[in-house]
């Protein structure tokens, strides 16, 4: 599931995923069509 989406004026997209059953997620940046995982987290982020 996507928890958050942000788009910069230059077109870069940041996504935060979240697994509700395991309370883990990953932060992904997509620049020029190329996804890159830049971090992960465990627990509920607010």
| 2-24 tens-digit pLDDT | 888 999 999 999 988 888 888 88
What local confidence, expressed as pLDDT, does residue 30 receive? 94
Q: How far apart are the first and last CA of the chain?
A: 16
What local confidence, expressed as pLDDT, does residue 17 receive? 86
Residue 45, pLDDT > 80, answer no
What local confidence, expressed as pLDDT, does residue 38 receive? 93
What is the H or E stretch that residue 7 is in? Answer: strand 2-7
3-state secondary structure 11-45: CCEEEEECECCCCEEEEEEEECCEEEEEEEEECCC
Q: What global pTM score does this model have? A: 0.69
Residue 46, pLDDT > 70, answer no
């Amino acid at each position: 599931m996507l928890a958050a989406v942000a788009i910069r004026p230059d077109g870069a997209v940041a996504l935060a995923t979240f697994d509700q059953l395991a309370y883990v997620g990953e932060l992904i940046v997509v620049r020029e069509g190329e996804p890159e995982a830049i971090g992960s987290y465990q627990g509920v982020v607010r």
